[in-house]
C-alpha cells in the first residue's frame, strides 16, 4: 500500500476532574498521563499495517520535535516512510484533554503549507517509484495535497482510493473510489437525500462513491450504476469516533485487494470502523479483531495466551494497561463504578474473571449464580471493558505476573492473597489503586434481598 496525504501527531492528555476553576467556569483537570498516537494519513497507514498490508507513507513534516516523535512512532509501527522535513513549517499536532473518558477540549497547532518546489519534486519522484497494489490519498486540507501530486498518483495503473475534502474533490475525478463522510459529501454535492448526494458525486467524478453515514453505516453508488444502495452497520457502544474514517477506508481497500465485491468491501469497512469506535482515542484495529468480529465471536473474551500477545503489542504501541479482577456474579452499580474508575487510569482495561470452580471455593455452595460464560459475555458487552479473561486459581497473581499491567485496581477490600498481588505490582514499578467503596451494594446483599422477597 502507498499512502499519501497530511499527517499529524495526536496527543492525548488524560486526567481527572472533580471541581470547577474558580478563575473561570471551566473544569480543572489533574493530569495523570500523556501519550502520542499517529494521526491523519499516518493513522490510516497504521491501520493498513495492522490489517496486514506492507505500507509506505509519503508526506511532509516540520523540522521540529513533533516531527521527530511522529517519525519514531512510524518506525515502531514498521511503516516505511518518505517524509520531507521543512524548516518553514511546523508538524501538525492535535492535543486532546480527556477526563473520565470525556473529551474536555482540543487545541490544534498547525501551519497550512503547500509543498515547496523541492518538496514537490521529492514527493512526485517517490509517488512514481514506490511499489503499490493500491493507493490511498488521505487529504485533511492541510496543504500537502496539490493537483500535481494527485495527477501523478492517478497516472499509475493501480486503484486510487480518495478520502479528500470537498475543495479538492475535482482533483480525484476517475479515481477508483471516493469515500467522504456525509458532511463532506453535502459540501460537494449540495443538499438532497443521501441517495441523491451519493449519485451526484459518483456521476460528477466518474467514480465509485461511498458516503459514510456514521452509526447508520454507508450508502454506495457504483460507477455506471443507476441506483444506490445502503450497507447498514451494527449498533455499537460508541466510545470515541476519533480516526474512525481512516479505519473505515483501510478495511475497504484491503477487502477490495482481497477480491471482495463492492458491497462486501463496505460491509467489512463498517465492521472495521465499528471496532475502532468502541476504543479510546485514535484507535488501531488488528487483523485478528476484524476476523473475530466478522465471525460473530466476541473478540473481547480471550484466553491467557491470546491476551499475552495482545498486551505485548499494546505495550509496543505505548498503551497503558489497567488490570482488575473479581467474580462479578450479579452485575450491579458498584461494579460499573469501579470499572469506570479503573478505565480512567489507562487505555486498555483487562478484567480477570474468576471461573465457576474458583468462585465455588471462595463463596461456597450455591455460587456462582451465573456461569462463567454468561458472566464473561455480560462484561464483554460493556464499552469500558476491553478484554475479559477467565482464571481458575483463587488469586490472579500468575496472570498479573505474566501481563505486568501498569495499573492494578481494586474496590475497597484487599485479602491476604491480594496483598501479595500488590507487592508483585509494586516490585516491577506498577501502581496499585484502591477506588474506595463507591457503593455498599454487593452480590451477596443482592441475593439476600431476593431471598427475603
Rounded percentage of the chain residues whose pLDDT exceeds 70: 91
Residue 71 has pLDDT above 80, yes or no: yes
pLDDT at 438: 54
User: Residue 440 to residues 70, 328, 344, 437: CA-CA distances in angstroms?
Assistant: 47, 15, 21, 7
Question: What domains, with CATH codes, occur in the chain?
Answer: 2-294 (3.40.1190.20), 304-452 (3.40.50.620)
Q: Which of 61, 41, 49 is nearest to 161 (CA)?
A: 41
Q: What is the mean predicted confidence (pLDDT) over 191-208?
A: 93
Determine the average pLDDT of the residues in 367-376: 87
List the strands of the sheet with 102-109, edge to edge.
30-40, 7-16, 93-99, 102-109
- What is the structure's pLDDT at 153? 93
Read off the pLDDT band of 451 (50, 70, 90): low
Burial group, residue 88, by CB count within 10 angstroms (0-12, 13-18, 19+): exposed
Characterize the bridge pairing of strands 218-221 and 229-231. Answer: antiparallel
pLDDT computed for residue 237 by the predictor:
55
What's the pLDDT tens digit per position in 152-167? 999 999 999 999 888 8
* pLDDT, average across residues 135-152: 93
d(CA 96, CA 135) in angstroms, rounded, equals 30
pLDDT band at 80; cut points 50, 70, 90: very high
Instruction: Identify the pLDDT of residue 70.
Output: 96
pTM for the model: 0.67
Render pLDDT for 283-295 as a digit per residue (tens, 0 to 9).
Answer: 678 787 888 777 7
| Helices assigned H by DSSP within 295-432 | 304-316, 333-343, 356-363, 372-380, 397-403, 416-427
Model confidence band, residue 260 (pLDDT cutoffs 50, 70, 90) = very high
pLDDT digits (tens, 9 = 90+) for 325-362: 988 988 888 888 889 889 989 889 999 999 988 888 87
298 has a pLDDT exceeding 70: no
Q: What local confidence, expressed as pLDDT, does residue 439 receive? A: 54
Q: What is the pLDDT of residues 393-443, one digit of tens each?
A: 888 999 999 999 999 998 776 676 678 899 999 999 999 988 876 555 555
Q: What is the pLDDT of residue 235?
A: 63
Q: What is the pLDDT of residue 449?
A: 59
Length of the chain: 453
Cβ atoms within 10 Å, residue 423: 11
Cα–Cα distance list, 284 to 45, 124, 125, 239, 433 (Å): 10, 29, 30, 14, 27
Q: What is the pLDDT of residue 314?
A: 83
Q: Catalytic residues, which ones?
A: 246
3-state SS class at 91: coil
Amino acid at each position: 500500500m502507498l499512502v499519501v496525504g497530511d499527517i499529524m501527531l495526536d496527543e492525548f492528555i488524560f486526567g481527572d476532574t472533580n471541581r470547577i476553576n474558580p478563575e473561570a467556569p471551566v473544569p480543572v483537570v489533574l493530569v495523570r498521563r500523556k501519550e502520542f498516537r499517529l494521526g491523519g494519513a499516518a493513522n490510516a497507514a497504521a491501520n493498513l499495517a495492522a490489517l496486514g498490508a506492507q505500507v509506505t507513507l509519503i508526506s511532509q513534516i516540520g523540522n521540529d520535535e513533533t516531527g521527530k516523535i511522529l517519525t519514531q512512532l512510524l518506525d515502531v509501527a514498521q511503516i516505511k516512510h518518505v517524509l520531507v522535513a521543512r524548516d518553514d513549517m511546523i508538524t501538525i499536532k492535535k492535543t486532546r484533554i480527556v477526563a473520565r473518558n470525556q473529551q474536555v477540549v482540543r487545541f490544534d497547532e498547525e501551519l497550512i503549507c503547500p509543498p515547496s518546489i523541492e518538496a514537490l519534486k521529492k514527493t512526485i519522484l517517490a509517488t512514481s517509484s514506490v511499489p503499490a497494489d493500491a493507493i490511498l490519498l488521505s487529504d485533511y486540507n492541510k496543504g500537502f495535497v496539490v493537483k500535481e501530486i494527485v495527477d501523478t498518483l492517478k497516472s499509475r495503473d493501480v486503484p486510487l482510493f480518495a478520502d479528500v475534502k470537498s475543495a479538492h474533490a475535482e482533483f480525484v475525478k476517475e479515481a477508483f473510489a471516493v469515500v467522504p463522510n456525509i458532511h463532506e459529501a453535502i459540501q460537494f454535492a449540495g443538499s438532497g437525500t443521501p441517495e441523491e448526494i451519493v449519485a451526484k458525486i459518483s456521476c460528477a467524478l466518474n467514480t465509485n462513491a461511498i458516503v459514510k453515514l456514521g452509526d447508520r453505516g454507508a450508502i454506495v453508488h457504483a460507477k455506471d450504476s443507476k441506483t444506490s444502495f445502503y450497507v447498514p452497520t451494527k449498533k455499537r457502544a460508541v466510545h470515541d469516533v476519533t480516526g474512525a474514517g481512516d479505519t473505515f477506508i483501510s478495511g475497504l481497500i484491503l477487502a477490495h485487494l482481497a477480491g471482495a465485491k463492492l458491497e462486501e468491501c463496505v460491509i467489512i469497512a463498517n465492521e472495521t470502523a465499528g471496532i475502532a469506535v468502541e476504543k479510546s482515542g485514535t484507535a488501531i484495529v488488528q487483523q485478528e479483531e476484524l476476523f473475530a468480529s466478522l465471525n460473530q465471536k466476541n473478540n473481547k473474551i480471550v484466553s491467557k495466551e491470546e491476551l499475552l500477545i495482545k498486551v505485548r503489542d499494546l505495550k509496543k504501541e505505548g498503551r497503558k494497561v489497567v488490570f482488575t479482577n473479581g467474580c462479578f456474579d450479579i452485575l450491579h452499580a458498584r461494579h460499573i463504578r469501579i470499572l469506570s474508575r479503573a478505565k480512567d487510569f489507562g487505555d486498555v482495561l483487562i478484567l480477570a474473571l474468576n471461573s465457576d470452580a474458583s468462585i465455588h471455593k471462595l463463596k461456597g455452595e450455591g455460587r456462582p449464580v451465573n456461569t462463567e460464560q454468561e458472566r464473561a459475555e455480560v462484561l464483554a458487552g460493556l464499552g469500558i471493558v476491553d478484554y475479559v479473561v477467565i482464571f481458575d486459581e483463587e488469586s490472579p497473581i500468575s496472570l498479573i505476573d505474566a501481563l505486568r499491567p501498569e495499573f492494578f485496581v481494586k474496590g475497597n477490600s484487599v485479602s491476604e492473597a491480594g496483598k501479595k498481588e500488590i507487592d508483585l505490582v509494586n516490585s516491577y514499578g506498577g501502581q496499585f489503586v484502591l477506588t474506595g467503596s463507591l457503593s455498599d451494594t454487593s452480590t451477596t446483599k443482592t441475593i439476600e434481598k431476593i431471598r427475603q422477597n
